[in-house]
Amino acid sequence: MLSVPTLVPAATELVAKSQRAHVYKYCSTTEPSKDTYCIKILQAEGAFLRHQLHLLERIARLQASSEAAPLPLARVARFGVPQGSQYPKPSQLHLVTRWIEGETLAQVASRWARTPQGVPLQEALTMLAAVADALAALASDSGRQPLIHQDIKLSNIVVTNNDTRPRAQFIDLDTAFFLGDPVEAIPFGSFGYAAPECLERREGWPSPAADVFSFGATVHEVLTGSLPHPFVSNPRNGRQFWLTYYRRTDALSPSENLPADVRELLDACLSLDPQMRPSVSELVARIRQLAERHNATEHIRPTSPKSAPLPTPLEPPCAPTLA
């Protein structure tokens, strides 16, 4: 069913490990191209596994088509359940994608936090505008349904700086789906970034507005070093904690240290009501305007994150567990 390259220890580097997934960087010594790949081994079963196979199949087809607009995603090389796994019983999904050379936004943000003079606001906004462009490409409905990522956060965004213009691509499709697909088996994204309606599974929650909320949280973290919540994220806080917090909160308050016009955009993106958030295309226009308006002499001084980023939780809302 699938032939995953034999992992040659010398050519393989473990880059991330959780209860749910192991992720390796792999420099092929046997593939004709000798390219670098990412191999992700994800615990997946039942309806979630079926959903992932369907999603990856569609993405691979779109990426292979010369007519479809390019997706801002790592190129899918192979995927499937290796022989010996008892599909659809508990099993492992192997996914091989091309490695994107660049830095995750998490690496960029931690580099900026160590820069004593801070970072030109314009440079940060220009990079974030590239992320908004990528989000607009995902949410595009030309020739296909919009793709909702659901786990937009710093470690799931890779930026490259070819031709001096930053370009952003998303990785980690564990929570992604094409709008209109069944969503029962799909887990929600990471606490702190996931929109309240996604955690709640409120009627009508599947929408590009969910990614706009997570984008707002990501921008806040890049520019300030922390998420837009009045406490430090704690891995012990589960879904119930976050649901109660959002229920008791009227509105999130972006940091007072940010310029008023940046705060205004974040207020809108982080609205607890998805209908009040800007559309993805409006978001692109507004963040580009901000990048043009703020001049290169203005600096922001993000601090180091106060806590390690939280992993994508294990608990899907109403679906089989992943681990």
Ligand X SMILES: Nc1ncnc2c1ncn2[C@@H]1O[C@H](COP(=O)(O)OP(=O)(O)O)[C@@H](O)[C@H]1O
Helix, strand, coil content of the chain in percent (nearest 5): 35, 15, 50
Q: Which of 133, 172, 211, 221 binds Mg ion (CB under 5 A)?
A: 172
CA-CA distance, 55 to 301, in Å (whole number)? 39
Residues 117-156 touching Mg ion, rule: CB under 5 A, are 156
Burial of 116 (0-12, 13-18, 19+ CB in 10 A): exposed
**Binds 217, which of Mg ion, ligand X, none (CB < 5 to 8 A, cut-off by type)?**
none
Residues 300, 223: contact at Cβ < 8 Å?
yes
If the CB atoms of residues 23 and 195 are measured against ligand X, the closer one turns out to be 23
**Binds 74, which of Mg ion, ligand X, none (CB < 5 to 8 A, cut-off by type)?**
ligand X
Residues 130-169 touching ligand X, rule: CB under 6 A, are 155-156, 158
Name, in order, each residue with C-beta under 8 angstroms of 240's C-beta and a sequence gap of 6 or more.
Answer: none
**Binds 49, which of Mg ion, ligand X, none (CB < 5 to 8 A, cut-off by type)?**
none
If the CB atoms of residues 100 and 109 are measured against ligand X, the closer one turns out to be 100
If the CB atoms of residues 21 and 130 are measured against Mg ion, the closer one turns out to be 21
Residues 72-111 touching ligand X, rule: CB under 6 A, are 74, 97, 99-100, 104
Residues 146, 209: contact at Cβ < 8 Å?
no
By CB under 5 A, tell whether 45 contacts Mg ion. no
Residues 209-248 touching ligand X, rule: CB under 6 A, are none
Tell me the H-state helices in the chain.
46-64, 105-113, 121-139, 196-200, 208-224, 239-248, 260-269, 280-293
- What long-range pairs does 15-22 form, CB within 8 A, spacing at least 24? 18/311, 19/43, 19/314, 19/323, 20/174, 20/311, 20/312, 20/314, 20/322, 20/323, 21/174
Which tokens sit at 181? Answer: 């697909």
Q: Which of 45, 133, 174, 221 binds ligand X (CB under 6 A)?
A: 174
CB of 39: closest distance to ligand X in angstroms?
A: 9
State the number of binding residues for ligand X (CB under 6 A). 19
**Binds 18, which of Mg ion, ligand X, none (CB < 5 to 8 A, cut-off by type)?**
ligand X
Residues 98, 169: contact at Cβ < 8 Å?
no
By CB under 6 A, tell whether 287 contacts ligand X. no
If the CB atoms of residues 124 and 171 are measured against ligand X, the closer one turns out to be 171
CB of 139: closest distance to Mg ion in angstroms?
A: 20
CB of 32: closest distance to ligand X in angstroms?
A: 19
Residue type, 311: P
- Residues contributing to the site for Mg ion (CB under 5 A): 156, 172
| Residues of the shown chain interacting with ligand X in the complex, contacts defined by CB under 6 A | 15-16, 18, 21, 23, 38, 40, 74, 97, 99-100, 104, 155-156, 158, 171-172, 174, 312
